[in-house]
Amino acid sequence: MNTAKAGAWASPYTPQNVDAAIRHLERVLCAESANSLFAQTYWRGRVLQAYATHGLVRPQKERLQRLLDRVATA
For 10-54, how does the pLDDT look when each residue is reduced to its tens digit (9 = 90+)? Answer: 889 998 999 999 999 999 888 766 666 678 888 999 999 999 999
pTM above 0.95, yes or no: no
pLDDT on residue 30:
82
Tell me which long-range contacts 9-12 makes (C-beta under 8 A, separation of at least 24).
9/45, 9/48, 9/49, 9/51, 9/52, 10/49, 10/52, 11/49, 11/50, 11/51, 11/52, 11/53, 11/54, 12/49
